[in-house]
Amino acid sequence: MTGLIIASILAPFLGGLLVLVIPRAWIKLFSQAVALAAAACSLLLLISFASAGKTPATVNLISLGNTVVFGLVIDRLSVLIGLAFILVGFLIVVYSTGYLSDKNREHPEKEVERRYYFFLLCFIGSMAGVVYASTMLGMLIFFELTGVCSWGLIGYYDNEKARKAALKAIIVTQAASIGLYAATAYFFAVTRSLQLSEMAGLTESAKTVIFLGVLIAGFGKSAQLPFHFWLPDAMVAPTPISAYLHAASMVKVGVYIFARCLGSANGAPKIIGVIGCVCAIATMIYGFIMYFPQKDLKKLLAYSTIAQLSYIFFALSLSVFGSTLAFNGAVAHIFNHAFAKGLFFLVAGALSYTTGTRMLPSLRGVLAKMPLVGASFAVAALAVTGVPPFNCFFSKFTIFAGGFEAAKTEPLLLILVIIAMFESIGSFAWLFWIFSSTVPGEPSEEVASATALAPSMQAVLIALAGLTLVSGFFAANWIG
């Protein structure tokens, strides 16, 4: 299993480097092959882990003296999330080969750009690194690398706005990453070890310091208040990149490291739970309010992501009060949301690819003109808002159940859980309204003149829609 993990981390990096030198004509095919290999490795890992009885293990790769500096962790959390991140990464690469072409009506591309595939592949590798790292230092290194990759990709179109957004993204997330930096250094100073497993034996006060650092870094990466403002601007990225940023990379790093530390520490001090819950609910409300003025489909989705990540933070913080259900729900939601939000963004990308716009007022009658895109839109909207039988329903349901469980010991939490439920209902109503004004009906001028969707993009939409249907069951089974 170790070999599979190392392959899924290293293959994208090496592939990314090779992209810089191989002939341009091969880049698209080669990148897909590399990403496929990584995804296959993570899938094989999942299968062999499951067949071996799901016993968690830690492999120390690089250690000197008594200090393990880098290692891999193989448990339910890392195996499941690793698969989601790498698999979505692969689908994004496939989609990109279609999207970044001269047929794109919004942003036609004449030439294959090396740096795009370089950064994208490195991004996939870094994500794998974050997920499988068993040491604080390993996590920190890959955490920082994801920032650099996202910088390269958000600024891809290389205009004033894109450069600004890219700069904003990296500066904000890196400023927040000071939290993780300090937490790692502090952790090392206290335990003289870098292994996350050492966290369980720490004193409450030491845990508080470390978790505060992790929370700050997590809030930055996952675009929570007060670090949220980089994410809506990052929309200037090519849409497949936005999809990856929102679904299975950048923003998921924050929640993942929090989940990983919570898992390693066997629970955190109560105060961390309180801070996490309150901040999450505040962000959730903010994200919800910001739905209404949005005209750009991608911006709307950005605020939806912010709110969805608050759910995950909320659930993880609830688990501090002793609710395993909430923790499981959060992990499942990381997994499920990856597919649903990925699909939603790729639908937005498909619309701008075919019609040249993604402004909501000019999009009408998508279903009539493009059945596949319209149907995918429906699946994504229903899934993201948590309608059964789509995946997010299961994880949201678990989160709320966990909330009520936690509220038994801390009655005040009940208020927060109820606020979250209202948000859930409200966002369902709003997205449904958007859906009903966009998808059915007579095609508008822009939609009527739509061009055909590239086959690779169609395939990815179908695949993601399928995954959105099944992933909920799978995640529930896997964790439960």
Partner 1 sequence: MYTNYLSWLLLAPILLSLAAFSARWAGKLAMRVAEVLHFITILVVLILGLLVIQGVLVEGSVVALNDWLHVDALAAVFLLIVCVVGFLVGIYSIGYIRNDVRTGELQADQVSTYYGLFDLFLFTMVLVVTANNIIMMWVAIEATTLGSTFLVGIYGHRSSLEAAWKYVIICTVGVAFALYGTVLVYSDAVNFLQRPEAAVLWTEIVKNARALDPTLLKLAFVFILIGFGTKAGIFPMHAWLPDAHSEAPSPVSALLSGVLLNCALLVIIRFAIILEQGIGPEFPQMIFLIFGSLSVVAAALFIFVQRDIKRLLAYSSVENIGLIVLAFGIGGPAGILAALLHTINHSLVKALMFCTSGNILVKYHTRDLSKIKGMLQVAPFTSFVLLVGTLALIGSPPFNIFISKFSIFSAGFFSGFPLLMVVLLLFLAIVFAAFMKMASSAVFGSLPENITKGDVRISMLAPIAVLVILVLALGLYLPPQISMLLNQAALISIHGNAAADASISLLNFSNSELPIAFLQFAQLFGR
Task: State the residues that interact with partner 1 by CB under 8 A.
Answer: 62-67, 69-70, 137, 140-141, 144-145, 148, 151, 155, 158, 163, 166-167, 170-171, 174-175, 178, 181-182, 184-186, 188-189, 192, 194, 209
CB of 183 to partner 1, least distance (A): 10
Which residues make beta-bridge pairs with 73?
58
Whole-angstrom Cα distance, residue 302 to residue 228?
10
Closer by beta carbon to partner 1, 209 or else 375: 209
Closer by beta carbon to partner 1, 184 or else 385: 184
> Taking the chain, what is the end-to-end CA distance rounded to the nearest angstrom?
23
CB of 297 to partner 1, least distance (A): 27
DSSP, collapsed to helix, strand or coil, labels residue 106 as: coil
CB of 465 to partner 1, least distance (A): 36
Query: Do residues 144 and 122 touch, judged by C-beta distance below 8 A?
Result: no
Whole-angstrom Cα distance, residue 206 to residue 376?
47
CB of 158 to partner 1, least distance (A): 5
Q: Would you state the torsion angle of the CA atoms of residues 404, 410, 256, 77, taken in this order, to the nearest 10 degrees? A: -60
Closer by beta carbon to partner 1, 220 or else 472: 220
Closer by beta carbon to partner 1, 186 or else 432: 186
Closer by beta carbon to partner 1, 36 or else 167: 167
Closer by beta carbon to partner 1, 33 or else 167: 167
CB of 20 to partner 1, least distance (A): 9
CB of 28 to partner 1, least distance (A): 21
Closer by beta carbon to partner 1, 17 or else 52: 17
Q: Is the peptide bond before 389 cis (omega within 30 degrees of 0)?
A: yes
CA–CA distances in Å: residue 249 to residues 65, 126, 145, 255: 34, 9, 12, 10
Closer by beta carbon to partner 1, 118 or else 390: 118
Structure tokens belonging to residue 89: 């990464």
Query: Do residues 321 and 406 touch, judged by C-beta distance below 8 A?
Result: yes
Q: Could you tell me where the DSSP H helices lie in 356-412?
A: 366-369, 371-384, 391-409
- Residues near 204 by beta carbon (within 8 Å), at least 6 away in sequence: 269
DSSP, collapsed to helix, strand or coil, labels residue 60 as: strand
CB of 439 to partner 1, least distance (A): 37
Per the listing, tokens 């970044």 go with 100
Other C-beta atoms within 10 Å of 436: how many?
11
CB of 66 to partner 1, least distance (A): 6
